Amino acid sequence: MGAMNLTSYSLKQHAGKRQKMIEEHVIDRGIKDMRVIEVMRRLPRHLFVKDSLGHKAYGDHPLPIGEGQTISQPYIVAAMSEALQLQGEERVLEIGTGSGYQTAVLAELAAQVFTIERVKSLSQHAKVLLDGLGYTNINFKIFDGTYGWRDRGPYDCLVVTAAAPHVPRVLVEQVKDGGRIVAPVGGAENQELVVLTRHGSQVRQRRLSLCNFVPLIGKYGWPEEE
Ligand code: SAM
């Protein structure tokens, strides 16, 4: 599992807002996994956005991170992480590194995280930040994540942090039998967060909540705009 390398200054900054975020947007909205709650209570989310947005980092909303992309709303990060039911020994594939915030949460909850981002500058920024925070269990790749990362699989769990009309079959194939996938699925404007559980060639699907994600762009997602 990861190791947060934080000064007492970065922990004290926005500590009150972080506590309020946990109580109002995580626990009061039904998140029960104490490992998820404790990681998000400690992790300084303001480090994952621009300094000028640090005071908004604990609000109940996504925030821009540049390149037209966003850091996901705290509740959504908590709900996705809880749905994976991580115990600490898993290998997790994440599609869409973004700011690296969800990546850090996963790195605290699982053994190894493999994270793919299509936007080079976002991946590089997240890597510098997460390396600086002391994480040694995160593997970064800059590529179209709709292909997955087959040569490092299979994975116990997979999380997709951008939305597509359906979860690409090629990703389902990279999850172990019994493994879980959490992904936003639907149209360009609104989607549902779904949890898929693989049972051999069969996939069981459960709906978690409505959501609104940026598009998953790539070979098995939405086409790139000209
Ligand atoms: N969980 C992230 C966080 O906390 O910052 C949020 C990520 S943001 C909502 C979705 C990310 O998916 C964006 O950074 C976007 O560039 C990336 N993305 C979209 N399509 C992708 C693809 N085919 N492969 C990899 N990353 C992709």
73 lines ligand 1 (CB under 6 A): no
Q: Whose CA is nearest to atom 18 of ligand 1?
A: 96
**Range of weakest confidence among 1-15, 55-69, 122-136, 164-178:** 1-15
Q: What is the pLDDT of residues 153-199, one digit of tens each?
A: 999 999 999 999 999 999 999 999 999 999 999 998 889 999 999 99
Q: Is the distance from CB of 81 to CB of 102 less than 8 angstroms? A: yes
Residue 97 pLDDT level (bands cut at 50, 70, 90)? very high
CATH of 8-211, one of 2.60.40.420, 3.40.50.150, 3.90.1010.10, 3.30.70.890: 3.40.50.150
Active site residue 201: no
Q: Whose CA is nearest to atom 9 of ligand 1?
A: 70
Mean per-residue pLDDT for 84-99? 98
Q: Is the pLDDT of residue 3 over 70?
A: no
Residue in 56, 167, 36, 162 with CA at minimum distance from that of residue 104: 36
Catalytic residue among 8, 52, 72, 121: 72
Residue 220 carries which side chain, given as an amino acid letter? Answer: Y
Average pLDDT of the chain, as a whole number: 94
Query: Is pTM beyond 0.85 here?
Result: yes
Q: Whose CA is nearest to atom 2 of ligand 1?
A: 98
Distance between CA 158 and CA 176 in Å, rounded? 10
